Structure 1
Amino acid sequence: MRANRDMELPEDFWIPIPLDTNNITSLSPFLVPQDHLAGSGTFYAMAAFMLFIFVVGTFINALTVACTAQNKKLRSHLNYILVNLAIANLLVSCVGSFTAFCTFASRYFIFGPLACKIEGFMVTLGGMVSLWSLAVIAFERWLVICKPLGNFVFKPDHALACCAFTWVFSLIASAPPLFGWSRYIPEGLQCSCGPDWYTTNNKYNNESYVMFLFGFCFAVPLTTIIFCYTQLLITLKLAAKAQAESASTQKAEREVTRMVVVMVVGFLVCWLPYASFALWIVNHRGQPFDLRFASIPSVFSKASAVYNPVIYVLLNKQFRSCMMKMLGMGGGVDEESNNISKENS
């Protein structure tokens, strides 16, 4: 864009690359297809991927909630947290992925500025709840297996309190852009909405909000997850060493080690691209970048609605057995009933 672009700061959007026009409003992502940012094939490919995330993510997470509602055996403290994760994933897939499918297919944000703010807020809220639920799961496993509080018993009431915490804290973290601390605007290829990482307008104080999200909504949960799972692995390795001749103990230690690695990698795949991109933007103001690549972090975070339940739910024998029974593919709940107390003790 020409030099006077710096004087034009639209209230509802900001395209952070040079454009050959004096009137940025003429290229508004709420009014016209954004073909000046990428080819039609890119938009349609993103639309297809978002449709996949919407269909698969909605199906898996809705099935998780339905299985828990139907089977009393699934109503344990850990599974309450998994259901909380599923509800957050449903919010992301139904609001974020479906909206993104429609807008990518249209090649611009067809629903308007107000819907952009709503979508950005709802997806951020669901993403934060999902993120903090992963930290709570790690914390619960640490309390139950490592017993740092001695004889303290983690009960369903404690799990429900933790679930409430994830929603309250996530609401606190996602609401500020609605009230002037940053703002929700189209991001990447301008077909999905999120917090404003781009501009330095003092009116919105975007940089401080980005640092707040990075610190309290990424670094703290990641630290919690790494600490809890590290302690879990240490405890299991000590148990395996004490029972060096026990094949079952050694097998359990190997299985848990693999699962911990998968869980940590899954968390990083979900959120590291988004957090890294936001920090890069804050520290490289004014530097050009390809908006096609800028859309990737948002896509990865929305895709968590699929691979989170795969890691945390489908690898859970209780849920897997109940889901297969509900889908008419088996009746293994009774077969797995002996494992229930083991998995949640």
Structure 2
Amino acid sequence: MDDLDYRQNSTVQYCFPDSNLSCKQEVRTGPAYMSLFIFLSCISVCTVFLNLLVIISISHFKQLHTPTNLLILSLSVADLLVGLVVMPMNIIQLMDSCWYFGKIACSVYPLISFVPMAASLCSLILIAIERYIAVCDPLLYSTRVTVCRTTLVIILGWSLCLFYIIIYLYINNHLVPSQIVTSCNGECVMSLKHFWVIVDLVVSFIAPCCIILILYSIIFQVARRQAKAVKAMKKGTSCKHRSKASGSSQTKAAKKLGTVIFFYLALWIPYYLSSLSVESLTSSSVFWTVFGWLQFINSSVNPLIYAIFYSWFRASVKYIVTCRIFEPSSSRSNLLPDHS
């Protein structure tokens, strides 16, 4: 009892003062830390708000119910979960080193964190495949890519991501609470061996990125050929003009979504390149924190790209902000005047 009283009255703080096996508590205070927490909290709020606008827009307006937009919707849902769950939990861990939620929550938290991030990458792969079909095989696009098929593919993609993350966490002994090894009470640290970092590098980054880059390189080669063909056809029938306009619009769409791919690679490459030099990666390391937040910020960048490039998104935001979305016929509004 005397030892317990000493621990409670000493300058060293513990996560659970009533436990002799408690971890030491490290509460980060001061102007620099407070500014950092406010900045990260603003990123989290903006991520949730912007992706929620995308989700509401595509879900509400019938004109936006297209295969491409359904894939964008899937990407936005994944990004929303990152801003709503992953970012706040990481901010809490940065503010206080203690884990107060128990081993069950410790085993579930990585699952909740990794699935949206894996689903985000899966959505980008599906977007690249969809754009490849649209640009390289436009005549068969409407028969091959439908809203129903796209929905089924999205569900399958999320299911595969969940399955992979479950296997990955189980192999690293972080899925079953009884298998989680902690040095003291109040600790939730996930340790990844170097071998499994390499496996994840191949499965979650190199292979998907190769698929995406190969598809987009083909898309832009086809786009250049189409551009040369358009220049050569100065005089043509109205049917040819419609064909050129269709091909041009598909190419522009591919370039816009290619920008999303570029930012994804730019924000994820530092994490995977640096992980190669780490023998054992833990979630408590500075490396994990810094490069992990670069990955999170990608979820904030995507909706900003939509706001810059997509006129339908800007138009739908006006409907939402001005509350015109609550009008009975708002779901049938024309957000693309050029396509009326």
Q: What do residues 112-160 of structure 1 show as CA deviations (whole Å, max 9, x unaligned)?
A: 4433332221110110001110111111110111118956531112211
SS at 2:43's partner residue? helix
Question: Which residue is equivalent to 2:267?
Answer: 270
Whether the 8 Å contact between 1:119 and 1:193 is mirrored in structure 2 is: no
User: Does the Cα contact within 8 Å between 1:82 and 1:312 map onto a contact in 2?
Assistant: no
Deviates more, 1:171-180 or 1:255-264: 255-264
Aligned counterpart, 1:153: 144
**Structure 1 runs of 4+ off > 4 angstroms?**
38-43, 148-152, 191-195, 245-258, 329-333
What do residues 42-95 of structure 1 show as CA deviations (whole Å, max 9, x unaligned)? 644442233122211111112222222321111111111111111111221111
The residue number in structure 2 matching 1:226 is 213
Asked if structure 2 preserves the Cα contact closer than 8 Å seen for 1:67 and 1:323, the reply is yes
Deviations 1:298-338 (A, max 9, x none): 10111122112223565332233212211129999535143
Deviation at 1:256, TM superposition (A): 5.9
Structure 2 vs 1, CA of residues 42 and 112 (structure 1 numbering), >3 Å: closer, same or farther?
Answer: farther
Instruction: Give secondary structure in 1 for the equivalent of 2:113.
Output: helix
1:69-80 matches, within 5 Å, as: 69-80=59-70
Q: How do residues 182-201 of structure 1 correspond to structure 2 at under 5 angstroms?
A: 182-183=173-174, 196-197=191-192
Shift of 1:103: 2.6
Higher helix share: 2
Q: Does 1:54 align with 2:41?
A: no
Partner of 2:24: 32
Q: CA deviation at 1:270?
A: 3.2
Shift of 1:221: 1.6
**Mapping of 1:16-165 within 5 angstroms?**
31-34=23-26, 43-147=33-137, 152-165=143-156
Tell me how far apart the structure 2 counterparts of residues 273 and 229 of structure 1 sit (CA, whole Å). 22
Cross-structure match for 2:312: 318
CA 1:118–1:146: 2 relative to 1, 3 Å: same
Q: Which moved more, 1:129-138 or 1:96-105?
A: 96-105
Amino acid at match of 2:305: I
Q: In terms of mean alpha carbon deviation, does 155-164 or 124-133 score higher?
A: 155-164
Q: Please, what TM-score do these two structures have when normalized by structure 2? A: 0.73
What CA distance in whole angstroms lies between the structure 2 residues aligned with 1:258 and 1:337? 21
In structure 1, the residue matched to 2:226 is 239
> Cα RMSD (Å) of the superposition?
3.9
TM-score for both structures, normalised by structure 1:
0.72
Counterpart residue type for residue 338 of structure 1: D
Q: In the TM superposition, what is the alpha-carbon distance from 1:291 to its structure 2 partner?
A: 4.1
Percentage of identical aligned residues:
19
Using the TM superposition, give the Cα deviation of residue 230 of structure 1 relative to its aligned residue in structure 2, in angstroms: 1.1
In structure 1, what is the Cα distance between the partners aligned to 2:104 and 2:30?
25
Query: CA, structure 1 residues 313+108, in 2 after alignment: closer, same or farther (shift >3 Å)?
Result: farther
Q: Give structure 2 stretches of 5+ with no counterpart.
A: 1-15, 235-243
CA distance in 1, matches of 2:187, 2:114: 12
Once the two structures are superposed, the pairs formed by residues 290-329 of structure 1 within 5 Å of their partners are 291-312=285-306, 315-328=309-322
Structure 2 Cα separation of the partners of residues 223 and 264 of structure 1: 12
What is the CA-CA distance between 1:217 and the residue it aligns to?
A: 1.3
Opposite residue 130 of structure 2, the aligned amino acid is: E
Q: Secondary structure at the match of 1:227?
A: helix
Deviations 1:231-279 (CA, angstroms, capped at 9, x unpaired): 1111111011112268997986995686365233211133212222322
C-alpha separation in 2, matches of 1:192 and 1:269? 32
What amino acid does structure 2 have at the position aligned with 1:93?
A: G
1:12: which partner in 2?
none
Show the counterpart of 1:201.
Answer: none
In 1, Cα distance between equivalents of 2:187 and 2:220: 39
Q: Which residue identity is paired with 1:277? A: S
Contact kept in structure 1, 2:135 and 2:250, CA below 8 Å: no
Counterpart of 1:104, as a letter, is L
Gaps of 5+ in 1: 1-24, 198-205, 341-345
